[in-house]
Amino acid sequence: MRIRKAVFPVAGLGTRFLPATKATPKEMLSLVDKPLIQYVVEEAMAAGMNEIVMITGRNKNAIEDHFDRSVELEHILEKKGNMELLEMVRSISEMCDFIYTRQKEPKGLGHAVLRVKDVTDEEPFGVLLGDDIIYTEGSPVMTQLVDVFHKTGGSPVVAVERVPMEAVSSYGVIDGEPLGNGLYLIKSMVEKPPRDKAPSNMAIIGRYILTPDIYRHLENTPFDAKGELQLTGAINSLLKERKVYALEFKGKRYDAGDKLGFLKATVEFALRRPDLGDSFLQYLKTLKL
Ligand code: G1P
């Protein structure tokens, strides 16, 4: 079964990036010359998903505008004869179908995903978090997860990465049985455990493929002490009923929601760009580091 829908929870306030995110959504911060969210939408598209479902909140209009047509801008570029830019601007709005829904209060990732129950309907769907930008030389990470989904006969799968033990409390963490080739059968998972309670250092990274039965578990999962409904809790409950897998993906992940992570991504993405890489490298070499 083809996975057509990709869900993007983008209602977060971006407090780690203030003041840049006071009036601009963090998803619209630009990595070299493209907003973060477009990298992630392109990753979903490369995995065959062409219905993009965005769960937005206040101050997120720029995301809708970005993926909409800009007739005025297209007209100006056409008049100037700048066909290359015109084509690029047009292609953004023609990428796929976009559906927007609102999460009125920031009550956690699980709460956000539950908002789209009626939109994703009876189909499996992807979930992609825009803070995690992943560079791959081979298949994009969502494509790697889709492969696992098919190979396991349609089981839910999450992306994981080994992180230093002192960082585990920032992530959902899995306890998994290794099956080879980076694949794990998940035994349990826990959201943001203290270091001494973490079952491993295998952290969940913001890419998931879920099946519609997750909604029943979300509906039955209690809100946590912070008043949030966690997706991790619902998946942990789901895996008592069916197999759920984790894939240690191939690729390099940047936490672009964090200032240092964003700077690292900016430098490395710029260095990889055919049109900028050489001159940027020459410039960096002149710095007395
Ligand atoms: C969310 C999830 C967490 C996961 C992380 C990946 O946390 O709740 O399980 O490890 O995304 O980025 P957040 O970073 O939104 O607090």
Q: Which tens digit of pLDDT belongs to each residue from 4-37?
A: 999 999 988 888 999 999 999 999 999 999 999 9
Cβ 110 under 6 angstroms from ligand 1: no
- Chain-centroid distance of CA 76 in Å reads 33
Q: Ligand 1 atom 15: the closest Cα is on which residue?
A: 109
Range 198-206 average pLDDT:
98
CA 25 – ligand 1 centroid, Å: 18
- Test site for ligand 1: of 15, 16, 27, 109, most ligand atoms within 8 A of the Cβ: 109
CA 131–ligand 1 middle distance (angstroms): 9
Specify the pLDDT at position 197. 95
- 92 vs 104, more confident: 104
**End-to-end Cα, the chain, rounded Å:** 52
> Which residues, at least 6 apart from 88, have a Cβ–Cβ distance to it below 8 Å?
none
Residue 113: what residue type?
V
What's the pLDDT band for 109 if we cut at 50, 70, 90?
A: very high
CA distance 164 to 196: 13
Determine the average pLDDT of the residues in 83-112: 87
Q: Give dist(CA 10, CA 205) in Å, integer.
A: 16
Q: How far is the CA of 191 from the centre of ligand 1 (A)?
A: 8
How far apart CA 134 and CA 53 sit, in angstroms, is 20
Does residue 206 line the site of ligand 1, with CB under 6 A? yes
**pLDDT classification of 1: cutoffs 50, 70, 90:** confident
Q: Is 112 in the pocket of ligand 1 (CB under 6 A)?
A: no
Tell how far the Cα of 26 is from the centroid of ligand 1, in angstroms.
16
Note the pLDDT of residue 261: 96
DSSP assignment of 198-238: -S-SEEEEEEEEE-TTHHHHHHHSPP-TTS---HHHHHHHH
189 close to 175: Cβ distance less than 8 angstroms: yes
Given this model, what pLDDT does residue 121 score? Answer: 85
Grouping H, G, I as helix, E, B as strand and the rest as coil, residue 191 is strand
Q: How buried is 257 (Cβ within 10 angstroms: 0-12 exposed, 13-18 middle, 19+ buried)?
A: buried
Ligand 1 centroid – CA 129 distance (Å): 8
Q: What is the pLDDT of residue 75?
A: 87
DSSP lists the bridge partners of residue 247 as 159, 183
Any ligand 1 atom below 6 A from CB of 159: no
Residue 241's pLDDT band (cuts 50, 70, 90): very high
184 has pLDDT over 80: yes
Least Cα distance to 160 among 108, 235, 229, 224 occurs for 235
Cβ neighbours, 10 Å, residue 34: 12
Is the confidence at residue 215, as pLDDT, over 90? Answer: yes
Minimum mean pLDDT among 29-43, 60-74, 205-219, 234-248: which range?
60-74
- pLDDT of 86 > 90? The answer is no
Q: Over 80: is that where the pLDDT of 110 sits?
A: yes
Determine the pLDDT at residue 246: 98
C-beta of 269 in contact with ligand 1 (< 6 A)? no
Distance 172 CA to ligand 1 centre (A): 6
Strands (E), 94-233: 97-102, 125-128, 132-135, 157-162, 172-180, 183-191, 202-210
Predicted confidence (pLDDT) at residue 90 exceeds the cutoff of 90: no
pLDDT in tens, 260-280: 999 999 999 999 999 999 999
Per-residue pLDDT, 156: 98
Domains annotated for the chain, with CATH where assigned, are 5-286 (3.90.550.10)
How many angstroms separate the CA atoms of 280 and 285, rounded?
9
Phi and psi at residue 130, to the nearest 5°: -70, -15
- Closest Cα to atom 9, ligand 1: which residue? 172
My answer on whether omega of the bond before 19 falls inside 30° of 0, hence cis, is: yes
Q: Which atom of ligand 1 is nearest to the CA of 203?
A: 10
Q: How confident is the model at residue 144 (pLDDT cuts 50, 70, 90)?
A: very high
Atom number in ligand 1 closest to CA 129: 12
Please tell me the predicted confidence (pLDDT) of residue 71: 86
Task: Tell me if 113 CB under 6 Å of ligand 1.
Answer: no
Rounded (10°) angle between helices 83-94 and 71-80: 160
Residues 53 and 115: their CA atoms lie apart, in Å, by 11
Altogether, the residues listed in the chain come to a count of 289
Q: Is the CB of 204 under 6 A from ligand 1?
A: yes
144-155: average pLDDT: 97
Q: Is the pLDDT of residue 112 over 80?
A: yes
Instruction: Compute the half-sphere exposure of residue 126: CA atoms within 13 Å on the CB side of its CA.
Output: 34
Residue 141 sits at φ, ψ, to 5 deg, of -60, -40
Whole-number average pLDDT of the chain? 94
3-class DSSP state of 154: coil
51 CB near ligand 1 (under 6 Å): no
Report whether residue 10 contacts ligand 1, using a CB cutoff of 6 Å.
Answer: no
Average pLDDT over residues 178-195: 97
Task: Note the pLDDT tens digit of each residue in 245-254.
Answer: 999 999 999 9
Q: Which of 124, 178, 122, 117 is nearest to 150 (CA)?
A: 124
User: Which atom of ligand 1 has the smallest separation from the CA of 231?
Assistant: 8
